[in-house]
Amino acid sequence: MKRILILMLALGGMKGAMAQSNYGNFTKKVRLGFNLDPMISTMNPQTSGVNRTGSKMGLGFGLMADFSLNPSGNYSIASGFNVVLGGSKLKYDAGLGLSDYKQLPTEYNFKMTHIQVPVALKLRTNENADGMAFWGQFGTYFAFPVSAKVNVTNLSQSADNINILSDVNRINIGLLVGAGMDYTLSESLTGTVGLIYQNGFIDATRNAKWNDGRVNINSFALRLGVYF
C-alpha cells in the first residue's frame, strides 16, 4: 500500500514538473488531479442459494487524468489510477461456498481492495459566468484485486480475515457512468463533484472454488476531487 501511495504522489507531481519545464502543450491537453470517493459497494449473486445480506461502505482514492480531444476541453478521455476498498456480506446455503465451511449455511463478510484504471469518454460544457461547468462520462474500467479477505460465521465456526486472494478472479471489467460539476477555485485549481456508478460484468469469485455461479460487484460513489 505504501508503494501505491508513493506511485500516486509521483504521478500527481508530473503536471507541476512539466509546467516548470515549459511543456505548455502538455498542460493544455491534460488535466491531472486527485479524487476521494466515498461509496456503497455491493456484491450481487446471480444464482439461487447465495443471497446478499449486507452492503458495505467503501472508499476510492487516487489520481484523475483527463486527456483532451479538442482545444476547448469539451471532449476528453477520462482515465486515472485508483485504489478501491469495498466488499459485501453474502449468505451461502449448505453445499456452497469454500470447502472448509460449506457443510453448514455460512455468512461471508468480504473485504476487497482493487487497483482500478477507468477509461471513459467525458463530455464537459463550457464554464458559465459563475465558473461552473457540467460533465458526464461513459465507459469502462479494469480492476485488479490486490487484497481479498473474508470473515466467516456459521453455527459451529467463526474466523476472521481469511485470505481468499487466490479464490477470486484476478481481473474485473464493467460499465462506468457518471455525471457532475466542476467549479473554478482559482486560476490553477478546479474542484469537481459528481456521482459515479459502476456495474461489474465479470464473476468476482472463482466458481470452481465457491460453486456460486456468477457474483457481480457494483458500486455507487460520490466523486470529490480537485484538478491542478
4: closest CA among 140, 118, 117, 111? 117
3-state SS assignment for residue 189: strand
pLDDT digits (tens, 9 = 90+) for 120-177: 999 999 999 999 999 999 999 999 999 999 999 999 999 999 999 999 999 999 999 9
pLDDT higher than 50, residue 197:
yes
Q: How confident is the model at residue 15 (pLDDT cuts 50, 70, 90)?
A: very low
167 φ, ψ (degrees, to nearest 5): -105, 5
Report the 10 Å Cβ neighbour count for 16.
13
Cβ contact 35:60 at 8 Å:
yes
Cα separation, 142 vs 144, in Å, equals: 7
pLDDT for the residue 19: 43
pLDDT for the residue 29: 87
CA-based R_g, the chain, Å: 20
11 φ, ψ (degrees, to nearest 5): -65, -40
pLDDT higher than 70, residue 43:
yes
